[in-house]
């Protein structure tokens, strides 16, 4: 994106799917987003907010440029909020089929995805959350997306996230909600950003 760049922001992620989702929103706001993989400092915490903020601060100490970190989790009601902040680890270890096994015979399939976005663009420090309620499907469906997308059906849809295009997913997504709020605040304050 050239010519209409209001602000350049480094997105600390090595997840191309996540980057593509956020890029669509960044383009809408005139924010030039650059993917910066392999620098994600993560702590183990029960709080997505703590994880996102810690990662943003540690990365900022190294990069010293306007950056953004996003952390998300899937919270399943019948499993007392599991896997929550540990979603990435749970996905890598037991995966989608492991979650479906835990949900065998469970009638209450309510769940929600939460996203926490942290942006540091000195002197601005922004933390925003996004949440989407939905249900856990009985089997994986769809081939788009990543993580637990194939088993999450957002409220107001009959499709899983993995059955949606990026544009469709962004209409419902927890990540899109958090990013939209964060970008709106950032642009209101952009004139004070040190570049």
Whether 49 and 116 have beta carbons less than 8 Å apart is answered as yes
Rounded CA separation 123/40 (Å):
21
120: left (phi over 0), alpha (psi -120 to 50) or beta: beta
Q: What per-residue string of b and e applies to 1-40 under the rule 16 or more CB within 10 Å gives b?
A: eeeeeebebbbbbebeebbebbbebbeebebbbebbeebb
Q: Helices 16-29 and 174-189 sit at what angle, rounded to 10 degrees?
A: 40
12: left (phi over 0), alpha (psi -120 to 50) or beta: beta
Catalytic option among 46, 71, 108, 191: 71
Active site residue 71: yes
Task: Give the residue numbers marked as catalytic.
Answer: 71
């Amino acid at each position: 994106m050239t010519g209409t760049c209001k602000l350049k922001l480094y997105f600390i992620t090595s997840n191309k799917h996540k980057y593509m989702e956020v890029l669509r929103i960044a383009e809408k706001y005139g924010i030039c987003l650059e993917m910066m993989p392999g620098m994600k400092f993560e702590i183990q915490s029960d709080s997505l907010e703590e994880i996102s903020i810690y990662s943003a601060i540690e990365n900022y100490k190294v990069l010293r440029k306007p950056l953004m970190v996003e952390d998300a989790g899937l919270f399943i009601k019948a499993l007392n909020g599991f896997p929550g902040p540990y979603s990435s680890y749970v996905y890598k270890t037991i995966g989608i089929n492991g979650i479906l096994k835990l949900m065998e015979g469970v009638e209450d399939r309510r769940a929600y995805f939460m996203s926490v976005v942290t942006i540091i663009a000195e002197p601005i420090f922004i933390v925003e959350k996004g949440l989407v309620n939905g249900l856990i499907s009985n089997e994986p469906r769809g081939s788009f997306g990543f993580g637990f997308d194939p088993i999450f059906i957002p409220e107001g849809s009959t499709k899983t996230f993995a059955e949606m295009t990026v544009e469709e997913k962004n209409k419902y997504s927890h990540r899109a909600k958090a990013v939209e709020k964060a970008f709106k605040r950032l642009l209101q304050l952009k004139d004070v950003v040190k570049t």
